[in-house]
Chains A and B, each alone.
Chain A
Amino acid sequence: QVQLVQSGAEVKKPGSSVKVSCKASGGTFSSYTISWVRQAPGQGLEWMGRIIPILGIANYAQKFQGRVTITADKSTSTAYMELSSLRSEDTAVYYCARVQEAVVGFDYWGQGTLVTVSS
């Protein structure tokens, strides 16, 4: 049974960074990609980027280029999303989601991690 378990809620100051983890179990970590999707309060879903663990290659949405870094540790089946230069507009729930076959899309999602940016 596939599970994506994310790290807990964070409260950060403007200008700082946050790193959220997503630990996968079930399935073979290197056989799929992990994306990060965020949802600001009362807003829709926004794709941020993905990591291809077997290659160590990441792609990022233009909006987040230069501020987001997505990585993966194959030894622990864990993906990470680090967002820097935080501002209040980055307050959101951050989800990780798995893609095993691109045509199927996100078949499993993490439970979400609330990141609050406040002075």
Chain B
Amino acid sequence: DIVMTQTPLSLSVTPGQPASISCKSSQSLLHSDGKTYLYWYLQKPGQSPQLLIYEVSSRFSGVPDRFSGSGSGTDFTLKISRVEAEDVGVYYCMQGIHLLWTFGQGTKVEIK
């Protein structure tokens, strides 16, 4: 299985400040079709997860532009340009290149 490793595991951010989460995969997520199967999800407290970013850097419908994704191969980053109170929760990266999909451990983001 592909192992997804996120750092840090927790983050405390002042509102209005930026935040960054790293995700590393044990194998390249670049498919022979030229696409990279890396996603980011946010699980707000008490809710189901929701899709933020797909294919490394594409924001899903309705996702604010303060969220951005970058990276390639095995190293990826999710950035929040200015954290807002509603951004608290646990962020997960996930790979979809292998038949059997796997998540990172999650990064808990809280507001200072």
Contacts and interface: CB of A to CB of B under 8 A. Distances in A.
Contacts of A95: 48-49
B88 to A, nearest CB: 16
Contact of A106 (B1, B37, B49, B99): B49
A102 B96 contact: yes
A53 interface: no
Interface residues of B, number: 25
Interface in B1-47: 1, 35, 37, 39, 41, 43
Interface residues of A, number: 23
A105 B59 CA distance: 12
Contact of A47 (B37, B50, B60, B102): B102
Given A45-B43, A102-B37, A102-B96, A110 B48 contact: yes
Contact of A103 (B43, B49, B54, B100): B54
10 nearest CB pairs, A to B: A105-B39, A109-B48, A44-B106, A47-B101, A45-B103, A104-B54, A105-B54, A103-B35, A103-B55, A44-B105
